[in-house]
Amino acid sequence: MAIAIRDDIFQSVEKPARYTGGEWNSISKELDKIIIRFAFCFPDVYEIGMSHLGMKILYHLLNERPDIWCERVFAPWVDMEARMRQNNIPLFALESRDPVKDFDFVGFTLQYEMSYTNIINMLDLAGIPIKSSDRTGEQPFVCAGGPCAFNPEPLADFVDFFMLGEGEDIIIEVMDAYKVWKSEGAPREAFLDRIAGIEGIYVPAFYETGYNPDGTIAYTKPVKSKYPEKIRKRIIKDLDSAYFPEKIIVPFTGIVHDRVMLELFRGCSHGCRFCQAGIIYRPVRERSPGRLLEMAKKLEAATGYEEISLTSLSTSDYSGLSQLTDGLIKEMESKRVNLALPSLRVDSFSLELMEKAQKVRKSGLTFAPEAGTQRLRDIINKGVTEENLVSSVTTAFKGGWSGVKLYFMLGLPAETNEDIEGIALLANKVVDAYMSIPREKRARGLEVSVSASSFVPKPFTPFQWEAQDIIKVLREKQYFLKNKIKSRFISFNWHESEVSLLEAVFSRGDRRTGSVLLKAWEKGCKFDGWGEHFKFDAWMSAFAECNIDPAFYANRKRSYDEILPWDHIDAGVTKKFLIRENEKAQKGELTKDCRLNCSGCGALTLVGRGGICLE
């Protein structure tokens, strides 16, 4: 039954449009024709969740089925949550405004570790038992997917099952299995048993972990032989034939990425050694320019958006980019629809691309050199040079741009003060490139923004064994860099090192860290990715009360033979490949773009193609 919310409640909160639903292209259905109700939950506020491409795809995919109704659920901001708790209003879905606890599935997307306490908070607000072991047959199944699901262990106590890999195929198989289970009237565990055999499904309750006296993992194994020892990620082999919505919801309020998002391809071939996405989305699979043009026309017509963003991990690597951009400009220029080209690499920025991007209006330019010296860029296999950056920004400045954002990381393995100072020197050379252009030929108002995040060792990367710098060292590096930046044209901001510590803990955590998540939530932790709500002291208190040392997970270097919490997950790349890349990093050796030379990571076997085996 739909929840009635008084007008005075909406009027008392910031951005009430976050909670009203009814947006253009949202989907409503008649309940008497529905067999499965799926609550797609994004554990952050509406404007962030509505910007997520995965939600757009799966929302419309599930709703293509007449027997399934997928609705959206977002974490209510603190003001709305307070009103909901005061008025006994449970967490509800936007489309029907029905309580989430009445759904068949409650599915969370795991995009970043600092959303984990929001998941617990949303379950509590919904009236669903927080721990999976406490749920009964009448309560929804709680599932999760997304990049953070590749180490599911910190959330193992709270999630009934995880979907690993690309969800378009796997989620339909799960829904079909549920229909059969529901018709049989079987016990709750029987459904989990049924789907445990689906490739890409991980049911934590069907696995147990043992520990050595030193706290490291002794084993993770299935409780019965019929469950797979390794859970392999699911992958879509042919992206051209994969589902993509022909229309998307148009919000009533502004969101972070308020535009059409056109997904060019999945995967990345560059092999940056810190980058988890570059590994877990392998191998590269492209959509054809013709298919993308068709998608763009339908999405623009269905939404009225005035910008199309070409999305991927590295847009300028798309093999059909020239053909696609020419076609989009021909189709969209007269409609005043802008073309945005994010994720451009420093070494592939061109005048031709720049002219296409500014055909209607200029958008910002962002480059990610990641490190300040060539030595460190070689260690992380970034594969770009100082000359690449200077050439690219010079081209941009000549073309009328005056604002550039530069992204770097601090705390990378083998980093020295010279590498950190190199960030300031590189930013100064960007300023020099602007100044080298005659005054009358350059745009006014130079702004160079330098952002420095802290290195977080991630699962399934060559740096998964590395230690993160302790907070004190990261702070020293941040202040060292701040003091090296003197130009009034350069602004500098950084990621708080306390947040980075927690990201590392829950990125590489095992099941024991779940107790810390629960304890921190009990102490009021939520919206931890929002600086004004981050409670570091409460987190440290939670670790202490759970007798867990965060340094054990974040600041400790691992050996190659240590069993890692995610070793029972198969992301498609071999551990031998990751070890080989780690050792090449120690020598400062580069690995070529795998589109040009197969690096033998093993991912091509996922799509039925063989690579060059280097093992």
Has residue 33 been placed in a domain?
yes
Q: Name which of 31-40, 242-251, 518-527, 588-597 the model is least confident about.
A: 588-597
> pLDDT of 451-481, one tens digit each?
999 999 999 999 999 999 999 999 999 999 9
Has residue 19 been placed in a domain?
yes
Rounded to 5 degrees, φ, ψ at 68 are -125, 135
Element (H, E) at 545: helix 536-545
Mean pLDDT value across residues 429-444: 93
Q: DSSP assignment of 124-184, as one string?
A: HHHT--SSGGG--TTSPEEEEESGGGGS-GGGTTT-SEEE-B-HHHHHHHHHHHHHHHHHH
What is the tally of structural domains in the chain? Answer: 2
pLDDT at 613: 38
pLDDT at 150: 98
pLDDT of residue 498 exceeding 50, the answer is yes
Has residue 21 been placed in a domain?
yes
> pLDDT of 310-335, one tens digit each?
999 888 889 999 899 999 989 998 89
Has residue 423 been placed in a domain?
no
> Can you give the three-state secondary structure of 188-229, one letter per residue?
HHHHHHHHCCCCCEECHHHEEEEECCCCCEEEEEECCCCCCC
CATH number, domain at 91? 3.40.50.280
Tokens (6 digits) for 266: 């999945």
Contact between residue 358 and residue 400 where contact means Cβ atoms under 8 Å apart: yes
Q: What is the DSSP letter of 261?
A: E
Rounded to 5 degrees, φ, ψ at 565 are -60, -20
Place of tokens 């005035």: 306
> pLDDT of 29-40, one tens digit each?
999 999 999 999
User: Could you say which of 232, 251, 282 is where a domain stops?
Assistant: 232
Contact between residue 589 and residue 378 where contact means Cβ atoms under 8 Å apart: yes
pLDDT at 362: 59
pLDDT at 354: 67
Has residue 104 been placed in a domain?
yes
> pLDDT of 361-372, one tens digit each?
555 678 899 999
User: Could you say which of 217, 232, 247 is where a domain stops?
Assistant: 232
Element (H, E) at 263: strand 260-263
Residue 254 to residue 499: CA distance in whole angstroms = 27
pLDDT at 196: 97
Has residue 146 been placed in a domain?
yes
Residue 373 to residue 481: CA distance in whole angstroms = 14
pLDDT of residue 230 exceeding 80, the answer is yes
pLDDT class of 508 with cuts at 50, 70, 90: very high
pLDDT class of 355 with cuts at 50, 70, 90: low
Has residue 110 been placed in a domain?
yes
Contact between residue 159 and residue 514 where contact means Cβ atoms under 8 Å apart: no
Whether pTM > 0.85 for this model: the answer is yes
pLDDT at 615: 36
pLDDT at 294: 96
Contact between residue 606 and residue 571 where contact means Cβ atoms under 8 Å apart: no
pLDDT of residue 15 exceeding 50, the answer is yes
pLDDT at 395: 86
Residue 512 to residue 521: CA distance in whole angstroms = 15
* Inter-helix orientation angle 78-86/116-126, to 10°: 20
pLDDT at 300: 96
Domain, as residue range, for 589: 573-607
pLDDT at 333: 86
Question: Strand order of the sheet with strand 490-494?
Answer: 365-370, 403-410, 447-454, 490-494
Mean pLDDT value across residues 275-289: 94
pLDDT at 342: 74
User: Could you say which of 185, 206, 232 is where a domain stops?
Assistant: 232
CA dihedral 476, 478, 480, 481 (to 10 degrees): 160
Coil, strand, or helix at residue 303?
helix
pLDDT class of 496 with cuts at 50, 70, 90: very high
Mean pLDDT value across residues 254-266: 93
**How many CA atoms are closer than 13 Å to the CA of 491, on its beta-carbon side?**
8
Has residue 460 been placed in a domain?
no
Q: What is the mean pLDDT of the chain?
A: 93
Note every long-range contact of 353-358, with CB atoms under 8 Å and residues 24 or more positions apart, other chains counting: 353/316, 353/321, 353/325, 354/395, 354/396, 354/399, 354/401, 355/399, 356/325, 356/326, 356/329, 358/399, 358/400
Residue 515 to residue 314: CA distance in whole angstroms = 37
Mean pLDDT value across residues 166-193: 95
